[in-house]
Structure 1
């Protein structure tokens, strides 16, 4: 009798499983293929989705729209999605602070109440004074697609430059704030990429690319980067060209200055590792760039200077890096002194 009961129960379960509706197979949007083949050193390489590289074409935009619609329709059907959202919101909803830092007499720090898209930069006159908002990146745009890319204080802390980036792009724009009044200056620089502000004198050094052809802003090659010097209160088109080598369009130059603005360092790189280095004494108007490192096989970075000599950290001919002293009157590597 017991065996008969077990048999009936097992049969019932099997019937239910067999008749249970199978999950509906996903119907992915069709991705069109084209007949495109490249030949690399005698080896044919097919590239059937080459047409998707044109991100501004109507076909590509339609493809993206279909892919997004398909993905979102699937995500909306997840039954526990709201529970995940609710729990993550609870975990994220707490105030957080950055480490405070001092610029001149003022103290700055970032604060996020918990659910803000971007942390807000606060300032206070001293450790006991009340803080106020100095820069709120959440007000850059109504849809939250414009982010703060970096902040750069002038040597005397009178100005703070900041970079914005739109919709996750590498392209940057520079703006300048007066730290005394909070007033936004008229200066506005565009078509910057992978650049900071290196302050010295009445302005700062930066690197920028040529303005791309309309429609190619997101697909143009990173070539022909130039280093400029911008004086506050002037237009970008009037900026002084500091460095450009048309023979090496893919070399990436990057300017930097010592904290007191006396020395300009010009770094150049070919990729993610290795850089050459040249230095110019800005206190001498007639000085030229002095080449310190010519190749791209190592990384040498200037930390500061003392007694007209440069303090640098380098990994040249050393496995764990070392700190060295470089005399600009005799900059050959053989004359570097290990600190």
Structure 2
């Protein structure tokens, strides 16, 4: 391969904790030097000249562009007169709008364009809230980072306020904190606003506190007339959430202090019009460090989900009229499944989303008895958003899988039926001919991990199929990624086998399981990549020459390390923005966030651990490596491009005659 010559300076040697570490390509760390720029330009030319030899190169690019330009559903809201659907078109057609339609599958009519003109071009009106009946929509026009403007548009003619699809005269401005909450009578909405010394609205109110304050805005009035909602003197902290109970009888706020959060409630005045002049707040509970999200109210019981998305998450209830009221566990996590979210549906039921190994399951419970009612069967994947109302049995949710970036489903509680509303499809790819299965792979030291395989239905397991492993981060239990564009392009053009495994990138030494079996935490991820590739070959999905692996950032580091340790198990690797030279992590300010899964090389224990697998230090010139393409850019977030530069220079130096290309782009 016509690799460009890269100067080596063998005089540069660091000594850390008694270990001598050669760094002959230190000069590549200077991204702005003429020599580095020439190296990158030459490497790019070699890579692009080679890649463009593929006759389908332009077709791959076209498919990737089509996937990026997909329309994604932001929400579906059912109201008495209309369904409202918010759609975001990403990519080159970047556009966001809210549509309305009389029936679920009826013709969509543009209701509000969320990309709005301003003095500085266009800005995105990001946050919006429909009123209970759908008569009004309040939205926050985010014109800059410090100030937002709440405006209101009508979905029907309202005498004295507005025409259908037209704005009201209401304007609420300032450092507005979303969300804002409509009252059930639709006469106005609550909002919170950060307080500044120059804030005339707050300074005119004697009861305004510090931090942020809660206001009520009545439609058709000036912001200067907005009602400040006074809190008791003992209610201290930042107002982090504001809710109205599902029956409209209670106003709820959470106050976050230095080390604790408290939950306060006040009855709404049901006998008068509007909001009480001085709501009578009382504290329900000091929640400590827990995080509570309101679900619904049934009678005197308030339902919450606590520590949403965390291992200790559970659904709880509170009797507001009990003499010594306290929270009672209603639905705990079960069988290794973590509760991600919970919603009230069908008047007296709770829909709970569980996660296990990145897979979503939906379960319905009876409210009050807490009995299991039914399971909602889903394909393998992750539920991203759920749109539900406490008094309605029609539920919508978006779902991501290996075969589609988004499928929107409708669940009808009365018939217990699930139907597809829309699907973001891979152009030219028939997902119905594929199926996704989950297998358990035995890792090192006997620990197993889940692997997800998308393959054609009826596939002959004869080792002849091109296969791509995507190594993706776990990202906690709540929103793990499934689909990526690379996998979509691969399935569309190669009709091969697409595989997903996940890493666990916690801090070094924080895994009890790894401590028990003597495993290094990050080495555990490396071993899982090797075990996954071995499984696919042993079960005849593919063979090493037809097996590719892809990883980005931390996962790219794991892929590079796995190739150093077992280069004969793979035929190709794509590594994006990986960290290759671990002993050099603390030398760059922007590298500090990258230390998380590896540790700090200045600490001997961390250094000894990472040196065992640091990719740059373990390139083996006596073995053949698979084809490798390193992709990087100059974006600062979790990316220091010289890691890839140095790794490619080292590979090309030690393996100049490698039968497969080792390239940088």
Q: TM-score, normalised on structure 1?
A: 0.63
Match of 1:279 among 265, 270, 273: 265
Aligned residue for 1:155? 132
Match of 1:321 among 293, 309, 313: 313
Q: Quickly say closer, same or farther: Cα 1:250–1:269, change in 2 above 3 A.
A: closer
Q: CA deviation at 1:282?
A: 0.7
Q: Distance in 2 between matches of 1:334 and 1:308?
A: 12
Aligned residue for 1:297? 289
Q: Quickly say closer, same or farther: Cα 1:150–1:331, change in 2 above 3 A.
A: farther
Contact 2:83 2:102 in 1 (8 A): yes
Q: Distance in 1 between matches of 2:166 and 2:192?
A: 25
Unaligned runs of 5+ in 2: 8-26, 35-39, 49-56, 157-163, 200-209, 271-275, 331-369, 371-665
Contact 1:207 1:254 in 2 (8 A): no
Kindly indicate whether residue 166 of structure 2 is the aligned counterpart of residue 183 of structure 1. yes
Q: Distance in 2 between matches of 1:135 and 1:327?
A: 41
Superposed CA deviations along residues 221-241 of structure 1, whole A, max 9, x for unmatched, are: xx5210111111111111111
Kindly indicate whether residue 234 of structure 2 is the aligned counterpart of residue 270 of structure 1. no
SS in 1 for 2:175: strand
Contact 1:187 1:232 in 2 (8 A): yes
Q: CA deviation at 1:311?
A: 2.0
Contact 2:89 2:95 in 1 (8 A): no
Aligned residue for 1:234? 221
Kindly indicate whether residue 195 of structure 2 is the aligned counterpart of residue 210 of structure 1. yes
Kindly indicate whether residue 85 of structure 2 is the aligned counterpart of residue 109 of structure 1. yes
Contact 2:69 2:93 in 1 (8 A): no
Q: Distance in 2 between matches of 1:138 and 1:291?
A: 41
SS in 2 for 1:237: helix
Q: Quickly say closer, same or farther: Cα 1:296–1:252, change in 2 above 3 A.
A: farther
SS in 2 for 1:195: strand
Q: Distance in 2 between matches of 1:136 and 1:226?
A: 30
Q: Distance in 2 between matches of 1:98 and 1:251?
A: 29
Q: CA deviation at 1:89?
A: 4.6
Spell out the pairing of 1:166-181 with structure 2 (5 A cutoff). 166-167=143-144, 169=145, 171-180=147-156, 181=164
Q: Quickly say closer, same or farther: Cα 1:97–1:240, change in 2 above 3 A.
A: closer
Contact 1:253 1:268 in 2 (8 A): yes
**Which stretch of the first structure deviates more once superposed, 99-108 or 224-233?**
99-108
Contact 2:116 2:125 in 1 (8 A): no
Match of 2:142 among 165, 174, 187: 165
**Which stretch of the first structure deviates more once superposed, 97-106 or 246-255?**
246-255
Q: CA deviation at 1:244?
A: 5.4
Q: Quickly say closer, same or farther: Cα 1:292–1:306, change in 2 above 3 A.
A: same
Q: Distance in 2 between matches of 1:95 and 1:27?
A: 42
SS in 2 for 1:127: coil
Aligned residue for 2:542? none
Contact 2:71 2:88 in 1 (8 A): yes
Q: Quickly say closer, same or farther: Cα 1:253–1:320, change in 2 above 3 A.
A: closer
Contact 1:123 1:131 in 2 (8 A): yes
Count residues in correspondence: 261
Contact 2:155 2:165 in 1 (8 A): yes
Kindly indicate whether residue 177 of structure 2 is the aligned counterpart of residue 194 of structure 1. yes
Q: Quickly say closer, same or farther: Cα 1:113–1:26, change in 2 above 3 A.
A: closer
Contact 1:225 1:249 in 2 (8 A): no
Contact 2:83 2:100 in 1 (8 A): yes
Q: Distance in 2 between matches of 1:204 and 1:94?
A: 34
Q: Distance in 1 between matches of 2:71 and 2:211?
A: 44
RMSD, aligned CA: 4.2
Contact 1:313 1:322 in 2 (8 A): yes
Contact 1:197 1:206 in 2 (8 A): yes
Unaligned runs of 5+ in 1: 1-12, 29-73, 215-222
Q: CA deviation at 1:306?
A: 1.2
Kindly indicate whether residue 121 of structure 2 is the aligned counterpart of residue 135 of structure 1. no
Contact 1:206 1:254 in 2 (8 A): no
Q: CA deviation at 1:154?
A: 1.3
Q: CA deviation at 1:310?
A: 1.7
SS in 2 for 1:194: strand
Aligned residue for 1:5? none
Q: Quickly say closer, same or farther: Cα 1:123–1:333, change in 2 above 3 A.
A: same
Q: Distance in 1 between matches of 2:72 and 2:121?
A: 20
Kindly indicate whether residue 270 of structure 2 is the aligned counterpart of residue 257 of structure 1. no
Match of 1:330 among 308, 322, 335: 322
